[in-house]
Amino acid sequence: MLLLTGAALIAGASVVAAQVDHGKLTGTWSSKGNYTVTGPGFYDPTKDRLNEPLHPGISYSFTVDGFYESAYYRAIANPVSPTCPKAIMQWQHGKFQKLANGSLVMAPIVEDGRQLTSDPCNYDNSIYTHYNQSELFERYEYLIDPYHNVPRLNLYRFDGSPLPPLYLVYQPPNMLPTTTLHPKTTATGRSKLKRSLGILPPSPVQPTNAWIDADRWWWFGVGVTGLGSFLYFCC
Ligand SMILES: *[C@@H]1O[C@H](CO)[C@@H](O)[C@H](O)[C@H]1NC(C)=O
Ligand SMILES: *[C@@H]1O[C@H](CO)[C@@H](O)[C@H](O)[C@H]1NC(C)=O
Ligand SMILES: *[C@@H]1O[C@H](CO)[C@@H](O)[C@H](O)[C@H]1NC(C)=O
C-alpha cells in the first residue's frame, strides 16, 4: 500500500491506485552534467554527512513502487559580493504519489532529511540540520530530449515554475535504502543506525566537534576546506 504518513497535503485528494504505472518516472534523474546524483555518493547515512558534489545540480530518483529520493546542491548568487555566494545542500527520501489530477506529492521520512548551508564570507562554519519539506509538483513531463536524444523529465513546482530539465542517469535508480535510515533519536541524540553501507569516498566537508543536540535539530561546525566549488552557480 502506498499510504503516506505526515502528508497533510494529500489529505482528501483523490489518489490513483497503488499499482499505477510509474514506469516513465522510474530511475535516477539529474540536471545537466550529472554532477549531483542521489545515492550514497551524495549522502552518507553511516557518517551522517553530505558530500559536496563537484558542481551544483539537482537529482531525483523514483522507484516503480512509489519511493523517491532527492538531492539538491545550489549556490545562491550574492549580487553585492559576487565572490560570496551562499550554498545549500539538501537531501531527502520518502514516498511519492501521483494524484488523479497529474500532480506528484512527495512525503519525506521526517527523521532522515538533511540540509547543509554555508555562507563562507559571513561566518566560518556551515550549518548542518535536519530537513523536512514535503513537496508538490503540479505536473511532470517525460520526453526524449531532442538535442541529447536521452530521456528527459520536466518537473513543475507547485506554482507551475519549472525545475531545470533532468536527464536519465541510472535505471534502475541509484538510491539509498528506502526505509527509515535514522529511526527516532534517543535522549542522547545518538542515532540507532549502526549498519555500514560500505566504503564511501571521503567528503571534503569535514564535520568537527561541537554537537548541540536540541531535540530534532542540531548544528555542528564544519571546516571551510572544500568550499571552493561553492563558487559555482546553478539553476
Ligand atoms: C492536484 O490536487 C492537489 C491536491 O488537492 C493540489 O494541491 C494540486 O494543485 C492539484 N494540481 C492541479 C494541476 O490542479
Ligand atoms: C550523464 O549520464 C548519462 C546517462 O548515463 C550519459 O549518457 C551522459 O553522457 C552523462 N553526462 C555526463 C556529463 O557525464
Ligand atoms: C514535516 O513537514 C511537514 C510539512 O512539510 C509537517 O506537516 C510535519 O509536521 C513536519 N514534521 C516534523 C517532524 O517536523
Ligand 2 atom nearest to CA at 169: 4
- DSSP H or E stretch at residue 156: strand 151-157
- Return d(Cα 117, Cα 227) in angstroms, integer: 11
Q: Where are the domains of the chain?
A: 6-234
pLDDT tens for 15-59 read 433 334 455 999 999 999 999 999 999 999 999 999 999 999 999
pLDDT tens for 65-93 read 999 999 999 988 777 777 777 899 999 99
pTM: 0.73
Cis check for the bond before 165: say yes or no (omega within 30 of 0).
no
* pLDDT band, residue 185 (cuts 50/70/90): low
Q: DSSP for 10-54, please give it.
A: GTT--B--TT---GGG-EEEESTTS-S-SSTTTEETTTTEEPPPS
Portion of the chain with pLDDT greater than 90, in percent: 56
> Which of 97, 88, 91, 136 lies closest to 111 in space, CA to CA?
91
CB atoms within 10 A of CB 80: 6
Ligand 1 atom nearest to CA at 139: 13
DSSP letter for 203, please: P
Q: CB-based contacts of 115: which residues, under 8 Å, 6+ apart?
A: 88, 89, 90, 91, 127, 128, 129, 130, 131
- Return d(Cα 62, Cα 60) in angstroms, integer: 7
- Residue 227 backbone phi and psi in degrees, to 5: -80, 0
DSSP letter for 80, please: S
Ligand 3 atom nearest to CA at 8: 7
C-alpha cell at 82: 559576487
pLDDT tens for 91-107 read 999 999 999 999 999 99
Ligand nearest to the CA of 168: 2
Rounded distance from Cα 18 to ligand 2 centre (Å): 31
- Return d(Cα 212, Cα 176) in angstroms, integer: 27
Task: Tell me, using a 6 A CB cutoff, whether residue 15 lines ligand 1.
Answer: no
> Which of 231, 233, 6 lies closest to 112 in space, CA to CA?
6
Q: How far from 160 is each of 134, 144, 152, 184, CA to CA, in Å?
A: 16, 21, 18, 35
